[in-house]
Structures are given as structure tokens and as C-alpha cells.
Amino acid sequence: MTTAETAPFQFFSLQVDRTRRLGPSLVRVTFTGATGEELKGFAAGGRDQSLSLFLPHPGQDAPVLPPLDDPDMYGILGAWRAMPADVRAVMRSYTVREQRTGPDEVDIDFAVHEDGGPACRWAQHAKPGDRVVVLGPAVADNTGVRFRLPEDADSVLICADETALPAASAILEWLPAETRARVFLEVPYSGDRMELATQADATVTWLVREEGAPSGPEAIAGAELPGESPYVWIAGESGAVKALRRHFVRERGLDRRRVTFVGYWRKGLSEDALREVPDEAAQDADQDAAQAAVQN
């Protein structure tokens, strides 16, 4: 059993402090500790740091979870899964957009749209004092950070849709000064464009669907890779990022270890249903290995 002192992820009880509309498709929710001290042990690793957010159903004052004082995180999750689906807390994965200390706060940016799911609806109506629970990082170097820049990388290529925009924005803030970066950001509306802080030497292309711009995969397929040893990070709709990853590995010959791809959602599937889909990263790795064996 992993103890609370050594576990890389722990449960944190939080509440909404304030909300802010960033554009037509994004709402920022700022959280603080439910009693003021809960975030003391929170340690986000930056970049595309993910966490699990547990939300109440409509009509509930707080998310329904088993007691959180059990040091066995997996035991808590197992007991949560055993609860009736219409009672237990709704769980969704999100990116830590920013963590601040003094006061201790965490921002999460929610992509919102008219036919959104329970987290989207919750974010659009969130108000100060609303309670949530997160299963988040307690150590900064954790597996919830997928963006891992190789030491020999001389440039970065980033492609993200609006669901991955918070992660892409945080990555740009993290990038070391003067790092060459080519960035493609696909969003629904012109009003979703925003100023992005970075010290990197970044060229950002906004692909706005209402303006008739090509999709991220269409734009990036013909784009020149920056540098001689690039690192690629692509995130968004699962089918699109999977196709792009194959494009870079199989058509452009990049080492698959230099291409990180993360499916945040899939057309026609809820996040609950998406969790039942086999691990596409493992499937692609197996296919790449088989292809390499044939070629050799």
C-alpha cells in the first residue's frame, strides 16, 4: 500500500473562489482549499499537468465520494466505482492551467460549448463556494505530465484544439527562453484568440473554424518541421491526434519517442466511454515495431 506521504497523487478538497470568461469557448475557474489549507501539499509539475476532477451531480452540495482519509488511493477509487453511477461524483480529466502560492490557488480552464457534458455544464454555472474534489499531484515530477522535452531537442512543434489549449498555453509558458517553437492552435471562434505568454521563439498560427481555416491535422500535415531534432506534442480529438502521430512517425520518420500524443476527447464518445477504448498508444507502438521489423 502506498502511504499518503509517498503517493505521487492525493485527494484535495477544493472550492470555487472565482470564475472568468476567457472567450466564447473557455471558462477559467480558480479554486482554493475548502478550509484554506488543502492546497499546501499540491505540487503541479507545469506543462500539461493533468488531474482528475470530481464534481457533484445537479442538486448535490458536494461530490459524493468514499471517505478520503484512507491512505490507499486505489481503494478509494475502487469504492467510488462501486457506487451507483447516478450518485457517485462525476469524474473528468483536466489540465492544471496554473498553480500559485500565497494565496494558494489553482486555475483550471474549461472548454465549453452548447452540447457539452456534465463538466462543461458545471463550469458554466460555477459560483464561489461550490465544492469539488481533485485527485492531483503531490510531487512535481509525476506521470500526469506528458510533455517531456528531450535534452537534444532543438525545437518543438505543438498542435492543439480548444480542449488542449490550456495545456498548450502552459507548455509555452514553461519552454526555456529562445526555444524554437511552431504552434498550431485550432479554435471555434475568432474571440478565442488570446495573448500567450512565452520566452520561447514561438510562431503561433491560430486556426479559427468560423473563419474557414483548415483543421489542425490539415495545416500541420504540410508544415515544415522546425529545427533538425524536433520534439512534437499534439493533443485534442483522439482520432485526429492519432492520425497526426502516425503521420510524423511513419511518413516523416520521426522516432516515436519524440512524438507525444494525447486524446482529450473523441467524437461521439463521452469520457466515460473513451476510458473503455483500448490503449491506442500501446497499439501504435506495437504496429510501429512490427513495421520496423518488416522494413529491416
* Ordered per-residue pLDDT tens for the chain, 296 residues: 334 455 799 999 999 999 999 999 999 999 999 988 899 999 999 999 999 999 999 999 999 999 999 889 999 999 999 999 999 999 999 999 999 998 999 999 999 998 889 999 999 999 999 999 999 999 999 999 999 999 999 999 999 999 999 999 999 999 999 899 999 999 999 999 999 999 999 999 999 999 999 988 889 888 889 989 999 999 999 999 999 999 999 999 999 999 999 999 987 665 555 555 555 544 454 444 333 333 33
Contact assessment for residue 165 and residue 143, using Cβ atoms and an 8 Å cutoff? no
Residue by residue, what is the 3-state secondary structure of 94-148? EECCEEECCCCEEEEEEECCCCCCHHHHHHHHCCCCCEEEEEEECCCCCCCCCCC
Q: Residue 216 is which amino acid?
A: G
- Cα–Cα distance between 251 and 228 in angstroms, integer? 16
Q: Could you tell me how far CA 161 lies from the centroid of its own chain?
A: 11
Q: Could you tell me how far CA 16 lies from the centroid of its own chain?
A: 20
Beta bridge partners of 23: 26
- Cα–Cα distance between 27 and 213 in angstroms, integer? 23
Of 200, 204, 126, residue with least CA distance to 160: 204
3-state class of 185 per DSSP?
strand
